Amino acid sequence: VQKSLVRDGQIKNALVALSEALDSRAILTGEAITERYSRDWSGDYVGEPAAVLRPSDTSEVAAAVRICRDACLPIIPQGGHTGLVGGATPDAAGQIVLSLERMNRIRALDSLSMTMVVEAGCILQTAKEAALAQGCLFPLTLGAQGSCQIGGNVATNAGGLNVLRYGMMRNLVLGLEAVLADGRVFSDLRALRKNNTGLDLKQLFIGTEGTLGIVTAAALRLYPQPRWVETLWLSAESITGIMALYDHCRREAGELLSAFELITAPCLELALELDPNSPLPGDVARFPAHALIEIASSGGPDLRPWVEELVASMFENGLAQTGLMAHSTAQAAALWRIREIMVEAQQRRGLHLRTDISVPISAIPLFAARIDEVLAQALPGVKVLTYGHVGDGNLHINALPPAHLQGSAFRPWLLPLTRKINEVVDAFGGSISAEHGIGITKRTALEERLAPVDRELMHAMKATLDPDGLLSPGRILVV
Ligand SMILES: Cc1cc2nc3c(=O)[nH]c(=O)nc-3n(C[C@H](O)[C@H](O)[C@H](O)COP(=O)(O)OP(=O)(O)OC[C@H]3O[C@@H](n4cnc5c(N)ncnc54)[C@H](O)[C@@H]3O)c2cc1C
């Protein structure tokens, strides 16, 4: 009781100081704190922020951090709440949420240098549209792009659909501005493509999920907007067949291959339940594995005749069994909608298993087969949903519960089934987190796998940058 009284006093005093340092719209307390700030998209964790701070510029973030540090109040940075590992959700009580949502300006866009400087709270879709308006492409593309923010993308080192061509967020960040745990501002927003001047300090804040600093702005790398985009759906007899298609496309299309997604039959079945009017040919549903492929170029001659030849050759040599080449932008969008709706359909089924792993690309067929065996043995009747960015060796092995374990009855199974999957990942030399990060959900699994040197270095880095452990405590590292 005494501890919580002291904490209440600290919060009260801090709020007085905060109300002097920040503008009137920046602080939410009590009933003004809506559910939005207490949970994320997954709904796996629900917290109770002591207060929500919504600074409008970097100096307000720095002031807020200094006041919270003086009052020993832990801070959880929040972006668009679409993270899938619980990192942005505050604990039950006493933590301060720092939302970047009001810092959403595009500070600069240079279409000759192909760079833009964007504040952390800018929604990814908005940043993409601003680039498009200048004939440029910001290539990060993911299902949550209408809600997730640039700061969240940096903090999680987000991946998505076009990584095989453009890389993950880390590859797209040229410069960064971040507020440190003591309120100092690290600022290097020079959008330089070459800069070999010792330690690349911005990397400290990319993929570290707000544990080493609060990202306030980023200088981003842009590309020419694609002029010719061809979208294909091709089906095969097995995942091995899909990997043969991948190999062929990779070699023939080279760097023009922009996306290559695997969708297995159970995933397609779920999507078609929600979207029965898809443009797919009727026989597609008979095949066990499918690829959604994008080949694009930013200049040169029209790609269509060449891609038509490529597709014809894949049918002639038996690599593809059936499929569709989108004949319009609307049809291409309808194909991508199947990919999107498949995720939505899983969410609608309620509690289910979600994972995000990577293995060497060539190991995918054997790995997926082993997972099917292991899960069927562990829990007969479980419906395994395998899909993902196979061009990056990144699979999402998700699973729906058997009929008798719907809803919360499935909860006790989540951890044991995840453990089984992680054991197979280890056996194949893979990673337990390919693109979603560690957050709270995966910190124990990470801890079990960290080599002693890695653990020491990670803790040393945290101790140097956040000696009081006030930034996103308990995320990534078990404290
Ligand atoms: C439908 C759907 C599809 C998705 N598809 C993909 C995908 O294909 N690829 C992929 O990589 N991810 C995917 N995700 C996961 C998610 O969208 C990404 O992790 C995204 O980058 C999170 O951004 P956010 O702004 O929502 O961050 P939040 O969820 O708000 O936060 C995520 C983490 O970053 C920290 N953080 C947020 N903002 C900052 C900041 N400014 N400074 C420091 N730390 C900060 C938080 O504390 C938290 O730890 C998907 C999610 C959904 C719901």
What is the reported pLDDT for 45?
87
Tell me how far apart the terminal alpha carbons of the chain are, to the nearest angstrom. 24
- Which residue from 37, 52, 58, 84 has its CB within 8 A of the most atoms of ligand 1, so it is best to mutate? 84
What residues flank ligand 1, with Cβ below 6 Å? 40-41, 76-84, 87-88, 100, 120, 142-144, 148-149, 151-153, 155-156, 158-160, 209-210, 214-215, 343, 435-436, 439, 472, 475
Query: Of 220, 171, 217, 174, whose CA–CA distance to 195 is shortest?
Result: 174
- 316, 214 Cβ separation under 8 angstroms: no
265 Cα–ligand 1 center, Å: 28
300 Cα–ligand 1 center, Å: 35
| Cα–Cα distance, 355 to 367 (Å, whole number) | 14
Q: Of ligand 1's atoms, which has the minimum distance to the CA of residue 389?
A: 8
Q: Which helix (H) or strand (E) segment is 27 a member of?
A: strand 27-28
Whole-number average pLDDT of the chain:
95
41 Cα–ligand 1 center, Å: 10
| Cα–Cα distance, 60 to 158 (Å, whole number) | 26
- 92, 47 Cβ separation under 8 angstroms: yes
Residue 31 vs residues 34, 49, 355: alpha-carbon distances, Å? 7, 11, 35
What is the reported pLDDT for 52?
97
418 Cα–ligand 1 center, Å: 21
In percent, how much of the chain has pLDDT > 70?
99
* Bridge-based pairing state of the strands 51-53 and 96-99: parallel
What is the reported pLDDT for 1?
62
In percent, how much of the chain has pLDDT > 90?
92
89 Cα–ligand 1 center, Å: 12
DSSP of 253-288, one letter per residue? HGGGEEEEEEEEHHHHHHHHHH-TT-S--GGGGGSS
Instruction: Report the pLDDT averaged over residues 352-371.
Output: 97
Q: Which helix (H) or strand (E) segment is 357 a member of?
A: strand 357-358
What is the reported pLDDT for 277?
85
The answer to which of 83-97, 150-164, 322-336 has the lowest mean pLDDT is 83-97
442 Cα–ligand 1 center, Å: 15
| Cα–Cα distance, 278 to 262 (Å, whole number) | 17
In the predicted structure, residue 125 carries a pLDDT above the cut 90: yes
Instruction: Report the pLDDT averaged over residues 72-95.
Output: 93
What is the reported pLDDT for 380?
97
What is the reported pLDDT for 115?
98
Sign of the Cα torsion 67, 73, 74, 76 reads negative
What is the reported pLDDT for 24?
86
Atom 49 (ligand 1) nearest CA: 87
In the predicted structure, residue 438 carries a pLDDT above the cut 80: yes
In the predicted structure, residue 148 carries a pLDDT above the cut 70: yes
210 Cα–ligand 1 center, Å: 11
Q: Of ligand 1's atoms, which has the minimum distance to the CA of residue 343?
A: 1
